[in-house]
Amino acid sequence: MKPSHIEAQARIQTPLGALTVAASSKGVAGVWFDAQSHHPGPLSAPLDATHPQIVGAVLALDDYFKGRRPVRLPVLDAEGTLFQQAVWRVLGEIAVGDTTTYGEIAHRIGRSAAVRAVGVAVGRNPISILVPCHRVIGRDGSLTGYAGGLPRKQALLAHEGWSGSSPRRLSSNAERSAPLPCRR
C-alpha cells in the first residue's frame, strides 16, 4: 500500500544499501531498503533532500550507523491501522542492543493470542531502522523474517552489539525510540 500523505522523498546510501526516505508534513512517513518486502514502489512525491523531516531522518540514520547514542529521532508519522500502530509503538520501546519476541509484543499490547497478527504488523513497519523491527526475534532466540532480508537484520543486530543469545525483556531505563503518532 502506498502511503497517501507523503509530500517529499530522498534517496540515501547506507552501509547496508540504498534507502528511500519519505516524509509528510508531520514527520517521517517511511524508510525502505530497495526491493524490501512491502516496499510501496515508486512514490509520486518530489525528491527533496532539504525537506525538514527528511533532514531529521538522515541525521538520525547517520548517527545510528556511526554508533552515536542516543540517536535523536525525528518525529515519525507512519500510516497504519490502530493495531499496527500499537505494535509499532512497542517496537519503539526496544532499546539498542536489546531484542524481544512477537509473543512479548502481543502480551504488551494486551492481545496475547495475536502473535501471528503481531508478526504481520512487524513486517509491515514502514520505517525501517528508526522503528526497530529488526530487534524482534523468535522465542527460541532464532532470527526470524525481516522485510529488508535476514543478512541486513543480522548486520543491524551485530552493529548494536547483540550477541545472538536469547531475547532480553524490554527494560524500563534503556534508550528508547520516539513514540509513533497514530495515522489511520
Strand 100-101 vs strand 28-33: parallel, antiparallel, or unpaired?
unpaired
Question: Which residues carry out catalysis?
Answer: 133
Largest CA distance in the chain: 44
Of all helices (H) and strands (E), which one includes residue 8? strand 8-14
Distances (CA, A) of 120 to 63, 124, 145, 178: 29, 6, 10, 21
**Residue 70 · residue 32 · CB < 8 Å:** no
Cα distance between residue 152 and residue 96, in whole Å: 16
| Cross-strand pairs, 157 | none
Q: How far apart are CA 51 and CA 66, in angstroms?
A: 22
